[in-house]
């Protein structure tokens, strides 16, 4: 039996999601104040550990299974000439993920994470959103379910990433439809397109947004998104249902997540931003989501790479919080 | 036999240090251009891996033994009332490091690093630098040697950290003596002192700098530093002699390293900045050293904590560089 079978069902699920454990948060804050360091000296690591504990329901958490899921999809809008790479690269990169040759494979190993890849109907690209909605309701529901079902029950930290030639165009259109402004505010160079292609992308984004204007985050996801974006949204929602914290990747992942935030206030309370991508509009998108990135290393690869790199930051925060001795335990004067 | 027995000997060593392997650098740049990602898409990870390979003499490096060394010292200048914590905390925290209860213990475990602690004559604080030089030449040479000898021959990545009540005052005085400006430009709240203590610190820094003005980085280290700062400088120099890359920690570690840079141009070419500390003047100090930090997480703990947290960033960079497949190997179209 599916967790949901329509966008309406999915929308209802989002409304009824669990929140953090406030008792665990308070207990974690108390513990944090007793650890052998000056108050606040671990900076953002302190808030991260407390936040993580509140979602896991404990004042002394550990991070068990870390899961990295890469979703891949193809985009009909590539017919407009919006990418520096041919569409065939999506399926080629899926094979590369499967044989362990991509960046996210190495980063997952460093993070001690289990990585998997889901290719979503690569032989059937979404429709060109300058002509019609990218997906039918049935198609977007299948993609959401693919993401939802990909999250393992025993996962304790989730990263979702993507591969899909053309998907920065899709993400820019989503961000523009969600937050307004001009198409050029949200359209960037993706994998590294030249000025000519950037102009085409910007025009394509403007056309898509004009055609599919909506106040509904899930409708924007359906009309301007792609299967891998919908799958990321589905996985992030599934994590919320299981109180599994999530680290966001770059521009495309954030755009997918933003559709959930638009559909339901607070839908991303279980989510932190892993990094600031070099893709120009990512900072603006994170501002709209009120998320401060953990890393800023000029990365713009996607695949979940930035978020996977940030796993060890979260892990370090939790290990400090749960592993350090208190002033009393260590016999250190508290100042 | 000691590697050096006077500041003059040590100065001579600094002049004759080895540089990076330019052939390895070029080969690593070529490899980087062939990996399955758009050019530059891994951002700073790409330059990091190439830089690391150039120091290790290979285009396809791995990071073997990571060594974290914490040096502890006591400061006579605490008699002036410059810290929120009593001097006894230095020896108490050394015991905490030894029993595994401090932040840097947890962070070393996450980084897969071997951690050790060297307490330098804690029962004999340095002299109060507002009255006389902090150390005699013999004392600073012993401290430099302690650091030099603490670096294992098989180490492939080094972090040095410190513990020493009063040592942000020492670091501020060093930075002011090296780079000029006003004492208040370089003096911050350290472990969290109030306005009153901050005013005392600033006066103490100004007095020390006025008394010990010099153009000589090693003389500044001797007169205004502390044993743990000299030991960090000695360890960073030893790493250079062995072509072991180093990750800098925060304000105090950076001040110690800056003495080497003042003594010899390029002395920190084998060094990257691990993080930007919340201690106010750290950014200004990193600017003076022309180093861009990898992390910026509002940390201000010392102990090597920020640099140890950054180990996994460097490790991830190297694993991507050396572990990814090339376009040709993976059968991916290169765009």
Both tokens assigned to B129: 């630098």
Burial class (CB in 10 A: 0-12, 13-18, 19+), A121: middle
Nearest CA in chain B to A308: B316
pLDDT at A192: 85
Whether the CB of A309 is below 8 Å from some CB of chain B: the reply is yes
CA–CA min distance A5, chain B (Å): 36
At A84 the pLDDT is 84
Q: Is residue A296 part of a domain?
A: yes
Q: Per-residue confidence at A335, pLDDT binned at 50, 70, 90?
A: low
On whether any CB of chain B is under 8 Å from the CB of A324, the answer is yes
Task: Give a yes or no: residue B15 inside a domain.
Answer: no
Residue A100 CA to residue A296 CA, distance in Å, equals 25
Give the distance from residue A316's alpha carbon to the nearest chain B alpha carbon, in angstroms: 6
- Cβ-Cβ contacts under 8 Å between A and B: the total is 191
Could you say which residues from 31 to 90 on chain A have a Cβ atom under 8 Å away from some Cβ of chain B?
A: 35-45, 84-86, 88-89
Q: Do B95 and A36 touch (CB under 8 A)?
A: no
| Percentage above 90 pLDDT, chain A | 95
CB nearest B309 (choices: A40, A299, A313) = A313
Q: Decide if B327 touches A, using CB distance below 8 A.
A: no
A4 within a domain of the structure (yes/no)? no
Kindly state the tokens that stand for A245.
């914290």
Residue B37 β-bridge partners: none
Cβ–Cβ gap B92/A299 under 8 Å: no
Q: CA of A214, closest CA in chain B: separation in Å? A: 33
Whether chain B has a CB inside 8 Å of the CB on A205: the answer is no
Helix (H, G, I), strand (E, B) or coil at A207: helix
Task: Give chain A's mean pLDDT.
Answer: 97
Identify the pLDDT of residue B334. 77
For residue A8, is pLDDT > 70? Answer: yes
What is the model's pLDDT at position A333? 86
Is residue A257 pLDDT above 70, yes or no?
yes
**pLDDT-derived band at B335, boundaries 50, 70, 90:** low
CA B116 to CA B121: how far, in whole Å? 16
Which candidate in A219, A278, A279, A303 is catalytic?
A303
Q: Quote the pLDDT of residue A266.
A: 97
Task: Specify the 3-state DSSP secondary structure of B267.
Answer: coil
pLDDT score of B333: 86
Residue in B closest to A95 by C-alpha? B330
Kindly state whether residue A15 falls inside one of the protein's structural domains: no
A331 in contact with B, Cβ within 8 Å: yes
Q: B300 in contact with A at a CB cutoff of 8 Å?
A: yes
Residue B74 pLDDT level (bands cut at 50, 70, 90): very high
Chain A partners of B319 at a C-beta cutoff of 8 Å?
106-107, 109-110
Q: What is the pLDDT of residues A81-90, one digit of tens each?
A: 998 888 999 9
Q: Name the residue in chain A with its Cα closest to that of B310.
A: A313
Mean pLDDT score, A199-223:
97
Q: What is the dihedral of CA B55, B252, B215, B185, to 10 degrees?
A: 130
Q: How far is CA B234 from the centre of its chain?
A: 10
Assign residue B95 the CATH number of its domain. 3.40.50.10210
Choose between B333 and B258: higher pLDDT.
B258
Phi, psi for residue B331 in degrees, rounded to 5: 70, 40
Residue B85 pLDDT: 86
Q: Which residues of A touch B316 (CB under 8 A)?
A: 106-107, 110, 309, 312
Query: Mean of the pLDDT values across residues A103-127?
Result: 98
Q: Is the pLDDT of residue B1 over 90?
A: no
Is 70 exceeded by the pLDDT of residue B178?
yes
**Residue B79 domain flag:** yes
Counting the structural domains of chain B, the total is: 1
Q: Is residue B199 part of a domain?
A: yes
**Do the chains contact at B84 and A324, CB–CB below 8 Å?**
no
CA distances from residue A284 to A178, A187, A251, A254 in whole angstroms, order as listed: 12, 11, 10, 11
Of B45, B106, B332, nearest to A299 by CB-CB distance is B45
Q: List the single best residue of B34, B36, B41 to mutate versus A (max A Cβ within 10 A).
A: B41
Taking a contact as any Cβ pair under 8 Å apart, which residues of chain A between 210 and 239 contact chain B? none
The closest CB to that of A45, out of B37, B89, B297, belongs to B297
* pLDDT 10s digits, B243-263: 999 999 999 999 999 999 999
Mutate which: A45, A68, A85, vs B, most B CBs within 10 A: A45
B292 in contact with A, Cβ within 8 Å: no
- A138/B contact by beta carbon, under 8 A: no
- Whether residue A295 and residue B295 make contact (CB cut-off 8 A), yes or no, is yes
pLDDT of residue A1: 74
Mean pLDDT of A309-333: 97
Quick one: tokens of B12? 């001579």
A286 vs A273: CA distance, rounded Å: 8
Residue B112 pLDDT grade (very low, low, confident, very high; cuts 50, 70, 90): very high
Asked if B101 and A324 come within 8 Å (Cβ–Cβ), the reply is yes
Q: Tokens 């000898």 label which residue?
A: B149
**Is B301's Cβ below 8 Å from some Cβ in A?**
yes
Q: Is B108 helix (H, G, I), strand (E, B) or coil?
A: helix
Judged against a pLDDT cut of 90, whether residue B192 lies above it is answered with: no
Say if residue B108's pLDDT is above 70: yes
Residue A1 three-state SS = coil
What's the whole-number mean pLDDT along residues A114-133? 98
Nearest by CB to B107, from A295, A320, A335: name it.
A320
Domain span at B92: 64-313
**Residue B148 covered by a domain:** yes
Give the model's confidence band at A190: pLDDT under 50 very low, under 70 low, under 90 confident, else very high: confident
For Cα atoms B107, A68, B48, give the angle at the middle one, nearest 5 degrees: 55
Residue B249 covered by a domain: yes
**Which of the 8 DSSP states describes residue B72?**
E
């Amino acid at each position: 039996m599916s967790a949901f079978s329509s966008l309406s069902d999915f929308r209802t699920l989002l409304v009824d999601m669990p929140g953090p454990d406030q008792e665990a948060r308070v207990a974690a804050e108390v513990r944090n104040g007793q650890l052998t360091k000056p108050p606040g000296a671990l900076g953002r690591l302190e808030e991260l550990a407390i936040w993580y504990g509140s979602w896991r329901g404990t004042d002394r958490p550990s991070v068990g299974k870390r899961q990295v899921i890469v979703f891949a999809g193809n985009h009909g809008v590539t017919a407009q000439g919006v990418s520096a790479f041919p569409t065939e690269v999506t399926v080629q990169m899926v094979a590369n993920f499967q044989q362990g040759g991509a960046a996210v494979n190495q980063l997952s190993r460093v993070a001690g994470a289990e990585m998997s890849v889901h290719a979503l109907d690569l032989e059937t690209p979404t429709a060109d959103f300058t002509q019609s909605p990218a997906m039918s309701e049935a198609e977007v529901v299948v993609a959401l379910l693919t993401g939802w079902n990909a999250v393992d029950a025993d996962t304790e930290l989730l990263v979702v990433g993507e591969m899909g030639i053309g998907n920065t165009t899709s993400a820019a259109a989503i961000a523009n439809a969600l937050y307004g402004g001009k198409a050029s505010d949200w359209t960037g160079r993706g994998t590294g397109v030249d000025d000519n292609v950037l102009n085409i992308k910007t025009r394509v984004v403007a056309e898509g947004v004009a055609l599919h204007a909506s106040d509904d985050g899930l409708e924007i996801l359906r009309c301007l998104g792609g299967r891998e974006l919908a799958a990321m949204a589905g996985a992030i929602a599934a994590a919320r249902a299981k109180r599994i914290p999530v680290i966001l990747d770059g521009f495309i992942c954030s755009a997918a997540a933003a559709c959930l935030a638009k559909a339901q206030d607070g839908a991303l309370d279980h989510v932190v931003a892993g990094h600031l991508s070099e893709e120009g509009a990512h900072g603006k998108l994170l501002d709209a989501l009120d998320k401060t990135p953990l890393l800023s290393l000029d990365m713009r690869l996607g695949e979940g790479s930035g978020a996977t790199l940030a796993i060890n930051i979260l892990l370090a925060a939790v290990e400090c919080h749960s592993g350090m001795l208190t002033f009393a335990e260590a016999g250190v004067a508290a100042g």
